Structure 1
Amino acid sequence: MCTSLTLTSNNQQHFLARTMDFGFQLDGRPVVIPRNYAWKKQLEESQETRYGFVGTGRNLDEYFLADGVNEQGLAIAELYFLNEAKYSSEVKEDRVNLAPHEFIMWVLGEIASIAELRERMTEINLVEKEIPLLGFVPPLHFIITDRTGETVVVESDSGELVIKENPVGVMTNSPEFGWHLKNLNNYLSLQPNNFANKKIGDYEVQPFGQGSGTFGLPGGYTSPERFVRTVYLRSLVDADAPLNALFKVLDNVTIPKGVNIKNDGSVDYTQYRAAFDVTNLTYYFNPYENQEVFELVLDEELLNKKEPIEFEYDRKFKTTGLH
């Protein structure tokens, strides 16, 4: 699962935010990958990063990130794309061959903008290669934004990587992105204002109370429901305080432990939430265990480190007394 969205503040700061919803305990934590770091690919020789970046991930023999922003202000997040993602079954000599979960490392370490990604997308061949920790090939698609505020989706439902324009700035999971856009046609009646009273013969029908305009807004945790709910909230939320607005929207799609159980008995829940200020290169991380939001600025000191850095965080729920 997972939900992602972009948001532009009233003073033109651009953000990407996401929930990480998963049944397997990923133990994601803040990670900085510096410039000129040679990371090991599963299918071919190591590759050196042109750009440094910060995101959420782990060291699994090599670093694996699920999201991040690089020093050029390009941000990306991967989300589950069950029954839709299609990958190559073989390595291609004229391509950069990557396991699907390595695409983020390549993008953040190599690409400065969506315009450059368009030019270089044909260099990449995603090959069916499993994540060692999970023991299977994750079906993934990706949401990407940059300092211009443009947002795109990258999907491989056709077997080749395709960039799709994202005019609503939201992405969830399957089906493919175009289906979600068409599905919005079913929710044209949603509005922030109450519906007007209506006469039926001599009887006047009126709303029960405030919020009648949101009648029919989906409330479940399926991918289509979360997509519609997030598009509606994003389109209307006050962007004066963009970071606060992002987390308020994410609150509406954050999954508590115990309410969403998979067929294998594992508990799918929001393990963390992250937000990226692509304008100011700032990373915000909120783990499931507490309400704190941890902040990290991608500065020159971090970018010039010799090795990646993982950051620990306080996992205890805290309260603050009133004075």
Structure 2
Amino acid sequence: MCTSLTLTSNAQHHFLARTMDFGFQLEGKPVVIPRNYTWKHQKVEQKTKYGFIGTGRNLGEYFLADGVNENGFAVAELYFLNEAKYGDTEQENKVNLAPHEFIMWLLGQMKDISELRERITEVHLIEEAIPMLGFVPPLHFIVTDKTGETVVLESDSGEMLVKDNPVGVMTNSPDFDWHLKNLNNYLSLQPNNFTNKKIGNYEIKPFGQGAGTFGLPGGYTSPERFVRAAYLRALVDTGETVGEGINSVFKILDNVTIPKGVNIKNDGSIDFTQYRAVLDVTDLTYCFNPYESQEIFKITLNDTLLNEKQPLEFDYDSSFKMTDLSRR
């Protein structure tokens, strides 16, 4: 589970946003991976060309679920159950990566989507379990850059494919092309009420405001969240300032955020939104909101952070807070 979207605000800031929905407690923190940092994938050392920030965890090597680098190139990974296919063995003359290592490579090497299109054939994803989970996570990826262009990376054929994303939304299985076709089922959705109609001599009227959204799916399945996010993204008022734009993105995420207890997996674990993030790829700002709190924590990439010698993790207070206006 997870929902992701991109959005360009009236202030001409471009955002990548996501919910991180999972049944296993990931315990991720915002972390900066600096320039020229050496890490290993499949026992091969790799040095980051660019520094970046995202949410991740140190498992011997860092594993990030999303992030934006110093060029404004941003990516988020989402679960792709029963669809993702990876190689069984490594290939010569390829960058062999486990699926959970792919984001580290992308953010450390890519300047923009144009370069990604040219270099995607360098990569070969292989069946390699993530230590924390003990299995190979089936993943696909949403990617954007400062131009606002958005693509999806999927390996449903065994090879990594770059797919244009004209609606700026991605959820989970089925494959992305299926989700685009499914939008054809929702042509009637609109922000305005439907007009009155007559059946014989009897006039039928909307019960009230919102009649145009009748049929907008409200569940937490991947297809329902995709349709809901696509509708809201297409129509939301993004405001006039950067802050208003970020607030608008979080309002969309509110509609696909999964509370604890309402979505139980077959093994009894609770699938819920562990954190939400909005990445401003224009200002290189990472906004992080943990489940336990309404507070948003912000970190902006700068040369001091990018030139650190080692990754820098950011702790935060996730306790729920309220401002008491009755105190003077």
Please tell me the TM-score bracket, short chain as reference: over 0.9
TM-aligned CA deviation for residue 11 of structure 1:
2.3
Describe the superposition over 1:151-204 as per-residue Cα deviations: whole angstroms up to 9, x where unpaired. Answer: 000000010000000000000000000000000000000000000000000000
| Contact 1:44-1:97 at 8 Å conserved across structures | no
The 2-side partners of 1:133 and 1:170 are apart by 28
The 2-side partners of 1:273 and 1:7 are apart by 15
TM-aligned CA deviation for residue 93 of structure 1:
1.0
1:316 and 2:315 correspond: no
1:231-242 matched pairs, under 5 angstroms: 231-240=230-239, 241-242=244-245
TM-aligned CA deviation for residue 18 of structure 1:
0.1
TM-aligned CA deviation for residue 239 of structure 1:
1.2
Q: Residue type matched to 1:65 in 2?
A: L
1:37 and 2:34 correspond: no
| Contact 2:11-2:245 at 8 Å conserved across structures | no
1:7-26 matched pairs, under 5 angstroms: 7-26=7-26
Partner of 1:300: 303
| Contact 1:218-1:225 at 8 Å conserved across structures | yes
The 1-side partners of 2:38 and 2:260 are apart by 37
Q: Residue type matched to 2:320 in 1?
A: F
Q: Does 172-181 or 236-245 show the bigger shift?
A: 236-245
1:1-323 matched pairs, under 5 angstroms: 1-41=1-41, 43-240=42-239, 241-322=244-325, 323=328
| Contact 2:19-2:277 at 8 Å conserved across structures | yes
Q: Residue type matched to 1:96 in 2?
A: V
The 1-side partners of 2:12 and 2:313 are apart by 30
The 2-side partners of 1:144 and 1:190 are apart by 27
The 2-side partners of 1:36 and 1:166 are apart by 31
Describe the superposition over 1:258-306 as per-residue Cα deviations: whole angstroms up to 9, x where unpaired. Answer: 0000000000000000010000000000000100000000000000000
Which ranges in structure 1 are unaligned for 5 or more consecutive residues?
Answer: none
The 2-side partners of 1:45 and 1:79 are apart by 25
Q: Residue type matched to 1:8 in 2?
A: T
| Contact 2:171-2:225 at 8 Å conserved across structures | yes
Q: How many pairs are equivalent?
A: 322
The 2-side partners of 1:44 and 1:201 are apart by 75
The 2-side partners of 1:262 and 1:243 are apart by 31
The 2-side partners of 1:217 and 1:315 are apart by 33
TM-aligned CA deviation for residue 44 of structure 1:
3.3
| Contact 1:2-1:19 at 8 Å conserved across structures | yes
State the secondary structure of the residue aligned to 1:3: strand
State the secondary structure of the residue aligned to 1:5: strand
TM-aligned CA deviation for residue 137 of structure 1:
0.0
TM-aligned CA deviation for residue 321 of structure 1:
1.2
Describe the superposition over 1:220-277 as per-residue Cα deviations: whole angstroms up to 9, x where unpaired. Answer: 0000000000000000000112100000000000000000000000000000000100
CA RMSD of aligned residues (A): 0.5
The 1-side partners of 2:212 and 2:318 are apart by 39
Q: Residue type matched to 1:9 in 2?
A: S
The 2-side partners of 1:243 and 1:24 are apart by 28
The 2-side partners of 1:303 and 1:78 are apart by 23
